[in-house]
Amino acid sequence: MGEGKIFSEGSKGKKITSEEKARLLLNQEINRFITEERRKENAITTVNKIGNGKFIDAGIIARLFDIYDLSLDSTKIENKRNVNSFIYGYYSAANTQLNLVTTGIVPGRVISTLEKRGIKQNCDLIPEHILYSVGRRDALDAGIKIEELPAELRSNKFYLQGYKDALQKLQSKGKGSR
């Protein structure tokens, strides 16, 4: 009574007691609970890191082209998740897109985002121009540390030239370097 057989591949079967069955079921439930809790924690971490994702593309466009979507008024962006989304786009996701630009490719995501938002480009979509311009702006942005950028970007001559030119201009104005 209370005994059953459990068969696994390659075994002839093993009799287990009701107590062992209960332990197995309890362990399965505990593992399910732990997995669910980890999933929830990961979701919270992701939301805290990248926000709700709504403004990632706006952050990318702002970093790459210095174009700030005017439709992003303060009522839309004041929500913490929206702010995190924009910041993630500006700092992290833009680095990924810039890595593609260093190879001579203007990412389709960038082009389609510009088109979807109806943003008129007043700059060329030439990779060298983009990298130079971003380098100039990054030199002035205290939130961007060149040593933390991807190696491809840190070693790109166009990016570095823009970065260097901006720093020299700052120093010549007597404001010092960042």
Instruction: Tell me phi and psi for residue 74, to 5 degrees.
Output: -60, -25
pLDDT bucket at 165, cuts 50 / 70 / 90: very high
Q: Average pLDDT in the 138-160 region?
A: 90
Q: Give the Cα separation of 60 and 95 in Å (integer).
A: 9
Q: Average pLDDT in the 121-147 region?
A: 84
Instruction: Tell me phi and psi for residue 15, to 5 degrees.
Output: -80, 135
DSSP code, position 12: -
Q: What are the Cα distances from residue 65, in Å, to 103, 106, 128?
A: 18, 12, 13
Q: Give the Cα separation of 165 and 148 in Å (integer).
A: 20
CB neighbour burial string for 2-32, b if at least 16 within 10 angstroms, e if fewer = eeeeeeeeeeeeeebeeeeeeeeeeeeeeee
Query: pLDDT tens digits for 52-89?
Result: 677 888 888 888 888 776 555 555 656 777 788 888 88
Predicted model pTM = 0.61
pLDDT bucket at 138, cuts 50 / 70 / 90: very high
Residue 40 tokens, joined: 């929830």
The answer to whether 150 and 123 are in contact (CB under 8 A) is: no
Of residues 103 and 70, the one with the higher pLDDT is: 103
pLDDT at 16: 82
Residue 144 tokens, joined: 């961007």
**What is the percent of the chain where pLDDT is above 90?**
13
pLDDT at 9 over 60: no
User: Going by C-beta distance under 8 Å and a sequence separation of 6 or more, which residues neighbour residue 157?
Assistant: none
